[in-house]
Amino acid sequence: MAVEFTEEQTKRMQNCFNMFDKDGDGKIVPSELEQALQNMGFQPTEEQLKEMIAEADIDKDGSVDFKEFQAMIRKKIEDTAKETFAEYDKNGDGFITKDEVQKTVQSKFMIRLSSEDAEKMIIEADTNKDGKVNYDEYLAFMMKM
């Protein structure tokens, strides 16, 4: 399952993109990225700026347009979701169970989660009602947040 953005999420991304795209030409170039990062207190090197642009620059034109910006965000979300899913899927079977939720919350956050609360979490994400959460269900659940 690929990440699908809601209309509201797309609007927010467009607003964020526009903050970087200072001249409003629909592209973020290294100088605009540098200015935005400096405004946030970062001092990126020229090499770091080139790497950041290159990471998202699908068509290799030296800039990032909105579609490339969305693709970059989508990839970051998917990568993060895969990592966090794997943290919960302790036995690597492709599913998160109530017991795995309890164990992960206990070990990662030092919070004792009741069986009932873990069950509620599973139920909320378990769209096919099989009592466990697969990656697609997990990703869909995370995108709602």
In the numeric block, the tokens 């970062």 are attached to: 42
State which residues form the domain around 102: 89-144
Residue 68 near residue 76, CB atoms below 8 Å: no
- Whether residues 69 and 27 share a domain: the answer is yes
d(CA 17, CA 1): 25
Task: Tell me the C-alpha distance between 30 and 64, whole Å.
Answer: 9
Total of domains in the chain: 2
Q: Are residues 49 and 12 in the same domain?
A: yes
CATH number of the domain that residue 48 is part of: 1.10.238.10
Amino acid found at 134:
N
Is the same domain home to 54 and 101? no
Q: Is residue 125 part of a domain?
A: yes
Which pLDDT band, with edges at 50, 70 and 90, does 22 fall under?
very high
**Rounded CA separation 85/94 (Å):** 9
Return the structure tokens found at 16: 């964020």
Based on the fold, state whether residues 71 and 97 are members of the same structural domain: no
Q: Output the 3-class SS for 111-142.
A: CCCCHHHHHHHHHHHCCCCCCCEEHHHHHHHH
pLDDT reported for residue 93 = 98
Query: How far is Cα 143 from Cα 10, in angstroms, rounded to an integer?
Result: 12
Looking at residue 1, what is its pLDDT? 66
Distance separating alpha carbons of residues 108 and 102, to the nearest angstrom? 10
Angle between helices 98-109 and 66-88 (to 10 degrees): 100
How confident is the model over 89-135, as pLDDT tens digits?
999 999 999 999 999 999 999 999 999 999 999 999 999 999 999 99
pLDDT at 145: 73
Residue finishing a domain among 21, 54, 76: 76
Task: Look at residue 81 and tell me if it is in a domain.
Answer: no
Residue 105 inside a domain? The answer is yes
Which helix (H) or strand (E) covers residue 50, if one does?
A: helix 46-56
Inside any domain, residue 26: yes
Residue range 60-86, pLDDT digits in tens: 999 999 999 999 999 989 999 999 999
**Partners of 120 in beta bridges:** none
Which of 76, 110, 125 corresponds to the end of one domain? 76
